[in-house]
Chain A
Amino acid sequence: MLEVSGLQGGYGQIQVLHGLDFRVDEGEVVVILGANGAGKTTTLRALSGMIETKGSISFNGEELVGKGAADIVRMGMAHVPQGRGTLPELSVEDNLRVGAYTRTDNEVDDDMDRWYEVYPVLKERHNQRAGSLSGGEQQMLAVARALMSRPTLLLLDEPSLGLAPIIVQDLFERFKQINTDTGTTMLVVEQNAQLALGIAHRGYVLESGHISVSGAADDLINDDAIRKAYLGV
């Protein structure tokens, strides 16, 4: 579904990605691990069209490099940014509705109900300002919002960041659930290797803008290289 080769990208003068090659197949959960500064967030931003890129990103056969974020969303990719990216002044419900912005069908309300079922706490607080939710709740909101656009590929940027372990555990279980129930393909970028590999099929390790290791999740969990990348040794 997603085929990336020779991806370069960065912020103006500062180039962060120096030629990435990886792929994500339909229905998979793929994880990208790496320490701070390795370029994980940049990778996702490159995919969703938020920064200028060179190289090739092939998504369902179409080339993404050179396209803008608004178009990429409409092609079926949704990106849950680091730090949740909630719209704090808007209500929970409006946040969800905004997620469905690009849709033109009339099943939006049905989808909202569905996500209220998956995340009951959102239903409870559906009229509250999104900014008043806890970190974990905002993360759920962010994911639900992204899923409201019925994407075929979901990008998750460090979903565990700043959240308590119990919450994170629960969060990741639900991610796995969503993947098995709906078949939504997921690309998760994470520092918490243990947790991420626990729900993934395959994984990559990113080091200073390069992919250094790749393999099946089970293999990676037991690999020394992970510890190397994780600790930056």
Chain B
Amino acid sequence: MDLFLNRLFDAISNGSAYALIAMALVMIFKATTLINFAQGEMAMFGAFAVMVVALEWNWPAWVAVIVGMVFMAAVGAGIERTLIRPFDPADHLPLVIITLGLFLAINALAGIIWRFDPRAFPELFPSGNALTIGGATLSWYTVGVVSTAVLTAGVLTILLNKTKIGLAFRAVSSNLESSRLVGIRVGPTLQFGWALAAAVGTLGAAVYVADPIRALEPSVMVRVLIFASAAAALGGLDSLWGAIVGGLTIGAVQSIIVPYTPIPNELSLAAAVVVLMLVLWFKPSGLFGTAQVERV
């Protein structure tokens, strides 16, 4: 029972981190129906920025996180303006290839600047345990990550539903042409989406790496991207709360289901991919997504 609870807490903790990155993916997908394969690397780069601000400039940890988020938001906006906007939004292949190029370039850039030795990362949540149930421990870290994910989803939902720019964003996701016809400036709206996604991604990477057992290094998000995209796709790529459900599901697969099966733990990634394939097989638009109709 204790083991189960500990595994459950692991699942929730990892799942929430995946959910954050997944939310970033969802934001970009909603706006552009594109999967930003560079999201993980952008998040990683943001986490490095946070590290620099917190550990080299010695600013308070959460201030560093905000700074990192703002920094990456600017980078995200810049990427949209220079690399994405020039292309026809309907033609996905060139855009996806650009995100792949970004994946490579950003990953390498981080390696060039900061090398590959694992780095310390500031503590974002109090150490120690919030709760002890028998032999199982619920750490403050887990509480922190989950709260962050839920809060973020909440803030994003409010942003999208109650603000003017959120309305514009939802309009653009829904019908690009009509959005133009009511005077929405699509470019800046998309830019906003990319900036927001980059910020959320950075937050996700930061809380992920803040786990005392993890260290920050350039390849830290490479695997996480897979888990996060599986989470996003599971939830239906255009649903924020779907991303949370998806994240928790993937976390559960990784930390609860796999340990109880003969599948070796090293293959938890493979298990997540298989789960994804199964869901997509039966429900191509994910659990909560809106079905896409294809026009000949």
Contacts and interface: CB of A to CB of B under 8 A. Distances in A.
* A associates with B: yes
Given A89-B290, A101-B164, A73 B171 contact: no
Interface stretch (A92-100, A175-183, A201-209): A92-100
Contacts of B170: 87, 89-90, 94
A191 interface: no
Contacts of B180: 50, 69-70
A94 B171 CA distance: 9
Interface of B: 164, 167-168, 170-171, 173-175, 177-185, 290
Interface string A30-63: 0000000000000000001010000000000000
Most chain A C-beta atoms within 10 Å of own C-beta, residue among B167, B168, B174, B185: B174
A136 interface: no
Nearest to B290: A89
B167 A70 contact: no
Contacts of A120: none
A86 interface: yes
27 contacts: A50-B177, A50-B180, A69-B183, A70-B185, A73-B181, A73-B182, A73-B183, A78-B181, A78-B182, A81-B181, A85-B177, A85-B178, A86-B175, A87-B170, A87-B179, A89-B170, A89-B173, A90-B170, A90-B171, A94-B167, A97-B167, A101-B168, A101-B184, A102-B182, A102-B183, A146-B181, A149-B182
A94 B185 CA distance: 17
Interface residues of A, number: 24
A88 interface: yes
What secondary structure prevails in chain B residues at the interface with A? Answer: helix
B167 A85 contact: no
Contact of B183 (A74, A81, A97): A74
A22 B190 CA distance: 37
A157 B35 CA distance: 34
A110 to B, nearest CB: 18
A93 to B, nearest CB: 11
Given A89-B290, A90-B170, A90-B171, A98 B182 contact: yes
Contact of B181 (A48, A88, A89): A48
Contacts of A145: 182
B185 A87 contact: no
B175 A70 contact: no
A225 B170 CA distance: 46
Given A78-B181, A97-B167, 6 more contacts: A70-B184, A73-B183, A87-B170, A87-B175, A101-B171, A149-B183
Given A94-B170, A101-B164, A101-B167, A85 B183 contact: no
B174 A90 contact: yes
A71 to B, nearest CB: 8
Interface in A135-188: 145-146, 149
Nearest to A155: B181
B178 A70 contact: no
B238 to A, nearest CB: 9
Contacts of B175: 85-88
Contacts of A48: 181
A149 B181 CA distance: 11
Nearest to A94: B167
A87 B178 contact: yes
Nearest to B161: A94
A85 B167 CA distance: 16
8 closest Cβ contacts across the A-B interface? A73-B183, A85-B178, A102-B183, A87-B174, A69-B180, A70-B185, A79-B181, A98-B171
A187 to B, nearest CB: 14
A85 B184 CA distance: 14
Nearest to A99: B182
A81 B171 CA distance: 15
